[in-house]
Amino acid sequence: MIDLYFWTTPNGYKPLIFLEEAGLEYRLVPVNISAGDQFKPEFLAISPNNRMPAMVDPAPADGGEPLSLFESGAILWYLAEKSGRFVPADLRGRKTTLEWLMWQMGGLGPMLGQNHHFAHYAPEKLPYAIERYVKETQRLYGVLERRLEGRDFIAGDYSVADMAAYPWCLLWQRQGIALAEFPNIERWLARIEARPAVQRAYAIGKDLNTVPTVTDAAKSMLFGQGRR
């Protein structure tokens, strides 16, 4: 059975949504990043970047040893290839899905993460930093809004590209976004939110953790990491 190393953050929800959507058998291994679980040697052995999510597949397609993965985008792509689900079969469809998955991993996620940081967690309110990341968030929402014009999902059918972007865009209120300005995104969010598997994933997360991840006590550990 697949082990998913998980905590209740946007990056964590991405593979949980996939596993629920695909009906693959899995076990959740909580990695409480507020308590420092991400620094335990057994976790670092599978996730050397001390970040969750991570995953172990005991039965990879090559029939070899159990295989571990870190980075949510890599996990989504791996699961899509393993199951043949949520990624198109044709070259061009795969190319487009991978482009938008990488767009989320390299742009949307990191920029919205900095937005959350400077707007909500930084000890000082730094107007330049707040404005920089809110503007970049607005730019990225604009890109997604245009992409969703005339489309139900980012890359054709519902895919790993949607699963990657949804958990971040769900938090639009925290990001200083006026959703009414992005009607295609608003409809896309509602479409995904209505999916039973997505609802199950968030219910599982809520059962696991009912408190905020970034507490005052956790801040210095989460935001004060230098070279280890």
Ligand X SMILES: N[C@@H](CCC(=O)N[C@@H](CS)C(=O)NCC(=O)O)C(=O)O
- Which residues bind to ligand X, rule: CB under 6 A? 9, 11, 33, 38, 50-53, 71-72, 222
Dist CA 15 CA 84 (whole Å): 15
Task: Specify the pairing of strand 54-57 against strand 2-6.
Answer: antiparallel
> How distant, in Å, are the alpha carbons of 59, 89, 100 from that of 82?
10, 12, 20
**CB of residue 92 vs ligand X: minimum separation in angstroms?**
25
Dist CA 224 CA 214 (whole Å): 13
Dist CA 222 CA 36 (whole Å): 9
**CB of residue 69 vs ligand X: minimum separation in angstroms?**
10
CA Rg value for the chain: 18
**CB of residue 39 vs ligand X: minimum separation in angstroms?**
7
Q: Which is nearer to ligand X, 152 or 222 (CB)?
A: 222
**CB of residue 38 vs ligand X: minimum separation in angstroms?**
5
Centre a 10 Å sphere on the Cβ of residue 217 and count the other Cβ atoms it contains: 9
Centre a 10 Å sphere on the Cβ of residue 112 and count the other Cβ atoms it contains: 25
**CB of residue 48 vs ligand X: minimum separation in angstroms?**
12
Residue 224 three-state SS: coil
